[in-house]
Chains A and B, each alone.
Chain A
Amino acid sequence: MIPGRFEYHQPESLDAAVGLLGKLGEDARVIAGGHSLIPMMKLRLAMPEHLVDLKAITDLKHITVDGGVISIGAMTTQAELIGSAELALAAPIVKETALQIADPQIRYQGTIGGNVANGDPGNDMPALMQCLDASFVLQGPDGQREVSAREFYEAAYFTAREDLEILSAVKFAVCSGGYAYEKQKRKIGDYATAAAAVLLTKGGDGGCSHAAIALTNLADTPLYCEEASNSLMQSGVDAASIDGAVASCMSIIEPVEDNRGPAEFKKHAASMVLRRAIELAWSRA
């Protein structure tokens, strides 16, 4: 399988990369880890005339924790997320999620920026970012702006990122409570049949002071489950409120039949992983 012809560019700064995109126009594509784009290029479902590789831009490779805010550069790989001791303390759910993405070789190459920017509903990081209430930093010809992960996804492969913008970093608050990312998949390396990201914080009174739930691959976009999250905060976490939260989430999912199974099976898998994730997160809270 040989991809179509293209010209390769390797800018050394984010400004230069944004400038190149502006100059080359819609025939150019940004490449990060390449493990979604290169397979598409081999199938010639993607045939960019120019590839702008971000690998030489050192500013895009960082994990910093400062003043309670975590910032991760877009070119940080899944393996680097897993290996970061600082991140494991500041937001352990990131490592738990990254370990469930693809396989070791792909985690050495795949990046957080590519994972969240591509808009593939099968990717795991978008729901995690919604659960963390992260914001995405977008750099374009007119400067920088931030978009909430909960507002970013419009449809499969359609996001709030403009064509001439590059997603440069993700930012979210340090999270200290209980957490879980539970994923049902056919085999290691596969995308989720259903997956759930859950954060729960126990209050001083034993109640639930913070709750956030988001789901992967159960609709065209990742789903932040606002109603279920709010209801857990109001009622606390017990058997009845977990049933209620699961039912609320199941009412907003829209799985479609594909090679991972019929929609009914996916609904079943979704309710199982979500229940497991809530119970595990609460046990860690």
Chain B
Amino acid sequence: MTKASITLNVNGQSVTTEAEPRELLIHVLREQLEITGPHIGCETSHCGACTVEIDGRSVKSCTLFAVQAQGSEITTIEGLGNPDKLHVLQEKFKEHHGLQCGFCTPGMITRAHRLLEENPDPTEEEVRFGISGNLCRCTGYQNIVKAILAAASELRQTESVA
């Protein structure tokens, strides 16, 4: 089966790669582009560990063929912050112990990022509903929700100062 040439903008950089149509986006990101922030958890669209942002939508990258993302702008956890300059969400997850094993965290933060873009001042219930496509087996979610609410508050303050 012939491979298709696929051009994506990933975390602000244009990249071109080749993939068979049957290759899922998560596999192309991790194995070809070496972007390993999005994790493979359940591979059945349930857990959300593979969540990335595509053209302003949160998407489970295990349930999309890479060829379907042709020409898209993709943001992964790597595009949100880095060890030298953490994103506010990353800082707040650290501060509020929003993670234990950390496996769900990249997907959780990527999803929370889009949630706050769309709703900068969510209630606790809206946060819980908004991350309902992401499973965490360690924390019981309490500290994840606290971290997201704290990040929302700080982002609103930064916004109002700017």
Contacts and interface: CB of A to CB of B under 8 A. Distances in A.
A105 B61 CA distance: 10
A2 interface: yes
A219 interface: no
A38 B67 contact: no
Interface stretch (B43-51, B136-144, B152-160): B43-51
B133 A189 contact: yes
A5 B130 contact: no
Nearest to B114: A104
Contact of A55 (B58, B60, B68, B111): B68
A42 interface: yes
B58 A6 contact: no
Nearest to B48: A105
A8 B63 contact: no
Given A1-B43, A8-B21, A105-B51, A38 B133 contact: no
A189 B47 CA distance: 10
Given A8-B65, A39-B44, A106 B21 contact: no
Interface residues of B, number: 30
Interface in B1-26: 1, 4, 20-24
A34 B132 contact: no
A7 B21 contact: yes
Given A5-B1, A51-B21, A104-B111, A79 B67 contact: no
A38 B131 CA distance: 22
B30 interface: no
Contacts of A265: none
Interface residues of A, number: 27
B59 interface: yes
Interface in B29-52: 43-46, 48, 51
A109 B21 contact: no
Given A2-B22, A7-B21, A35-B63, A104 B43 contact: no
Interface in B111-162: 111, 115, 129-133
A154 interface: no
Contacts of B51: 105
Contact of B43 (A7, A42, A103): A42
A109 B57 contact: yes
Interface of B: 1, 4, 20-24, 27, 43-46, 48, 51, 57-60, 63-65, 67-68, 111, 115, 129-133
* 3 cross-chain pairs, A with B, having the tightest CB-CB distances, nearest first: A103-B133, A8-B21, A108-B57
29 contacts: A1-B44, A4-B22, A5-B1, A5-B22, A6-B1, A8-B21, A8-B67, A34-B63, A34-B64, A34-B65, A34-B68, A39-B44, A42-B43, A51-B21, A55-B68, A79-B57, A102-B133, A104-B131, A104-B133, A105-B48, A105-B51, A105-B59, A105-B133, A106-B45, A106-B60, A109-B63, A188-B132, A189-B46, A189-B133
Given A79-B57, A104-B111, A189-B132, 11 more contacts: A6-B22, A7-B21, A8-B65, A34-B63, A39-B44, A39-B63, A41-B22, A53-B68, A103-B132, A105-B48, A105-B111
